[in-house]
């Protein structure tokens, strides 16, 4: 597993240097982040792969005192059309706050920019930023947290594992497999992304 991570990290660094991706548009950097986060994730939900023994602990995020008790998830179906770049942009709601987000099935985790995490009251300790990733701006450390609830339209999933980026490293939230794998269906239909719970 360590060799695979080293190989993936080396490939990403080489790609970044070769193509000077730091000049990319924020949406493109977000797509690159998603790929990197998917490649270095310690668990690939749905694959049956076990977490690495050295996986760092998850920093809990307390639910809002005003949040009512609810079942683990609420059903629903959402359809997302691609934007002009072919990306599936949408809005998610975390603890009552709406955040712009991009769906990325290649990302292992839902990822939050540090600035969005701050607005949500999620403030991992410096020691929690212990998961290394490679980004368009170089190497970085991210923190793993648990979100009490994530809502995408009429779909709600409870207790979602997410990563929090460092400041200025991620332009928007990414919806990865820690959310998507909890749905009953994620599929394409006539160029649109259909999500169902």
For 121-154, give the DSSP string.
T----GGGEEEEEEETTEEEEEEEEEEEEEEETT
CATH 1.10.260.40 fits 2-196, yes or no: no
Two structure tokens written together for 54: 């050295």
Query: Per the confidence metrics, is the pTM higher than 0.75?
Result: no
DSSP SS3 for 161: strand
What is the rounded CA–CA span in Å between residue 3 and residue 22?
Answer: 26
Domain boundaries of the chain, sorted by first residue: 2-196
Q: Mean pLDDT of residues grouped by 10 in the chain (197 residues)?
A: 41 37 46 48 40 44 42 75 96 95 93 95 95 77 96 96 93 95 96 95
- The pLDDT of residue 184 is 95
């Amino acid at each position: 597993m360590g060799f695979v991570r080293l190989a993936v990290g080396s490939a990403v660094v080489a790609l970044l240097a070769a193509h000077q991706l730091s000049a990319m548009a924020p949406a493109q950097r977000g797509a690159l982040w998603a790929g990197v986060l998917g490649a270095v994730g310690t668990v690939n939900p749905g694959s049956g792969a076990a977490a690495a023994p050295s996986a760092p602990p998850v920093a809990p995020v307390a639910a809002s005192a005003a949040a009512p008790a609810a079942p683990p998830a609420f059903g629903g179906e959402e359809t997302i059309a691609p934007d002009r770049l072919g990306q599936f942009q949408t809005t998610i709601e975390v603890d009552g706050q709406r955040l712009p987000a991009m769906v990325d099935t290649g990302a292992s985790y839902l990822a939050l920019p540090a600035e969005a995490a701050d607005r949500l009251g999620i403030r991992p300790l410096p020691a929690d930023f212990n998961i290394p990733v490679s980004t368009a701006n170089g190497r970085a450390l991210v923190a793993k947290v648990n979100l009490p609830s994530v809502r995408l339209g009429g779909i709600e999933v409870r207790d979602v594992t997410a990563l929090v980026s460092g400041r200025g490293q991620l332009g928007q939230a990414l919806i990865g497999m820690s959310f998507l794998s909890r749905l009953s269906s994620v599929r394409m239909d006539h160029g649109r992304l259909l999500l169902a719970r």
